[in-house]
């Protein structure tokens, strides 16, 4: 034990703070690359669905990996009040090879394809008992069999309620009318300013000039007469 302690202490003594920092950065970089290139499983942007009793629904799931796949194992299972019921499972050996899917539910159909990284399933003739959480699970051998999963929630209803948009339509119509009226008013105002007002100004100037000439002609002789001197006696 003493020799081991001396060896470990001598090794630690040889490592400078700079070496430790470089080693830490290298580990962090490797972990970052691993996390970015790792497998991702997704059930889409909307992870829930309201479906009518007796209909057939698609439970979507896709996978992606920047480092590729090898012996990708996947399955679907349903959470039945805490008991996980397996619906189907398969292994995709390599990219582009279609898997041989084992289906364990009479109303489940596999509709995915490895060519599009799709492992979705159909659930036929759903009942109220089918409502709940469905898990899409995948594990890639290239990632040392790390587990990945995504959940899809199914709600089963009698009918899909239609949203009454009457009030919204009225509000939008009123706003549209106000905006349209404002635009028409601005256009008319612009036309008046550009075409009608300049013509009125020209006519007013002509009227002022003509009225000034009339006054000069009418009062010219009188003005001259007034300027004449008083006749001498």
Cα angle for residues 104, 110, 113 (degrees, 5° grid): 140
At 225 the pLDDT is: 45
Distance in angstroms (rounded) separating the CA atoms of residues 65 and 42: 12
The DSSP code for 118 is: B
Please list the rounded mean pLDDT of every run of 10 residues in the chain (233 residues): 44 51 44 58 94 97 94 97 96 95 97 96 97 97 91 93 65 77 80 70 60 54 49 50
The DSSP code for 67 is: T
pTM reported for the whole predicted model: 0.57
Write down the domain spans for the chain: 40-157, 167-206
At 160 the pLDDT is: 75
Distance in angstroms (rounded) separating the CA atoms of residues 46 and 36: 23
- For 123-162, b/e burial (b = at least 16 CB within 10 A) is beebeeebeeebbbbbbbebbeeeebebebebebeeeeee
CA neighbours closer than 13 Å in the CB half-sphere of residue 74:
32
Residue from 60, 62, 34, 172 nearest 122 by CA: 60
Q: How are beta strands 72-80 and 108-110 bridged, if at all?
A: unpaired
In this structure, which topology does domain 40-157 adopt according to CATH?
Immunoglobulin-like (2.60.40)
């Amino acid at each position: 034990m003493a020799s081991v302690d001396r060896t470990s202490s001598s090794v630690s003594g040889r490592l400078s703070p700079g070496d430790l920092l470089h080693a830490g950065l290298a580990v962090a970089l490797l972990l970052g690359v691993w996390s970015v290139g790792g497998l991702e499983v997704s059930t889409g942007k909307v992870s829930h669905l309201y479906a009518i009793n007796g209909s057939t629904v698609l439970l979507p799931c896709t996978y992606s990996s920047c480092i590729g796949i090898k012996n990708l194992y996947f399955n679907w299972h349903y959470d039945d009040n805490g008991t996980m019921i397996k619906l189907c499972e398969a292994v995709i050996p390599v990219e582009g090879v279609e898997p041989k899917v084992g289906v364990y539910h009479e109303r489940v159909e596999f509709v995915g394809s490895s060519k599009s990284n799709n492992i979705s399933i159909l659930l036929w003739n759903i009942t109220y008992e089918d409502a709940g959480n469905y898990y899409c699970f995948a594990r890639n051998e290239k990632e040392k069999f790390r587990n990945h999963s995504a959940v899809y929630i199914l709600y089963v209803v009698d009918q899909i309620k239609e949203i009454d948009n009457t009030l919204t339509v009225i509000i939008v119509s009123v706003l549209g009318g106000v905006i349209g009226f404002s635009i028409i008013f601005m256009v008319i105002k612009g036309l008046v300013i550009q075409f009608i007002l300049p013509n009125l100004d020209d006519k007013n100037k002509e009227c002022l000039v003509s009225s000034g000439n009339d006054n000069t002609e009418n009062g010219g002789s009188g003005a001259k007469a007034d300027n004449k001197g008083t006749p001498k006696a």
